[in-house]
Amino acid sequence: MNRKACAGRVALVTGASKGGCGTAIALRLAAEGARVAITARSPDGLDRTRSAIEAQGGEVFALACDLADPQQRESLVAAVETRLGGIDILVNNAAAGGYKPFEEWTLVELEAMQQVNVWAPWRLAQQALPGMRERGRGWILNLTSSVAELPAGPPFSRTPPAQAGSAYGASKAALNRMTVALAAETEGTGIAVNALTPQAAVLTPELAKLRDAGHMDADFFEPMETLVEAAMALCTTQNADFHGRIAYSLELLLELGRPTRDLAGANLVPNWQPVDLPAQLRRQLGAHQRAGGAQGQEAARLVVALTRELNK
């Protein structure tokens, strides 16, 4: 990818206040020349992300918004377009999660999760689409989860995604279906619509604390840079085949043979280049097996990916 791959483009990234995936994607988009709008509930967190982007010379517009509130989010796209211009790249990263048994979810909790995980991406895409169609180009990327996939069984894995992922998994499954439906409707228009799943738990600052405390196996993780690199591939693609994908980060980077760079887009990230990824996938599979998830959907997908690599 060229250094300024997003020069002249406007991007909106949701959920960019906690120093996690949304923040990292916004930083990389800005480093690649995009004018970036960021949104989340936390003004303080947005200020930290804004400062980080400005420190690297990027242009950024921060707007606090609770995406669970339909009234707040309805004016978001218009505010961004008034400030920065038409949105070329929409990254729906914000998410509401949680694991607990099916019978314990309240209607209020379920409605809030659907608002953030389904209706917010839906409405933001609806509002950004007219401008994309007019310009004949656009990129919509929805961040999703492996929990959207059906748990393998019976017998079912005893892991949280299988045993307590009903609400979160259902919302992400809906997001995936919406992604593919919109891809079908925009085919041939110059607009790329895809969803991206982390291959493993992304090593955000919050999860790093759990790893360092010994609560999570270190091999469960991938760095934020690999997830961001895969996002960049889907937010800049000119390849019509990369449309309507529910992509997995490391599998996509392997497929493309794409190097992983840091969040400034400058330096290669050690141990996470295409040649390293099969070994990383094997380590992740081992972590699932040690955790008792050898029969889960995540382990099954890793087996398929590794088999595909061996057969190349």
pLDDT for 176 equals 98
Q: Is residue 289 part of a domain?
A: no
Residue 1 confidence (pLDDT): 42
Residue 143 lies in a domain: yes
Q: 129: domain range? A: 10-273
- Supply 41's token pair: 């509930």
Query: Does residue 5 lie in a domain region?
Result: no
Two structure tokens written together for 63: 């707007």
pLDDT score for 297: 66
The residue from 168, 221, 248, 272 that is catalytic is 168
- Whole-prediction pTM: 0.94
287 assigned to some structural domain: no
End-to-end CA distance of the chain: 24
Positions of the chain with pLDDT under 70: 1-3, 292-297
Residue 54 resides in a domain:
yes
Q: Output the DSSP codes for 8-64.
A: T-EEEEES-SSSSHHHHHHHHHHHTT-EEEEEES-HHHHHHHHHHHHHTT--EEEEE
148 within domain boundaries: yes
Question: How many structural domains is the chain composed of?
Answer: 1
In a domain, 279, yes or no: no
Residue 155 makes CB contacts below 8 A (sequence gap 6+) with 295
pLDDT of residue 100: 96
pLDDT at residue number 288: 76
Q: Is 168 a catalytic residue?
A: yes
Would 296 be classed as within a structural domain? no
CATH number of domain containing 134: 3.40.50.720
DSSP 8-class letter at 156: T
Q: What is the pLDDT of residue 287?
A: 83
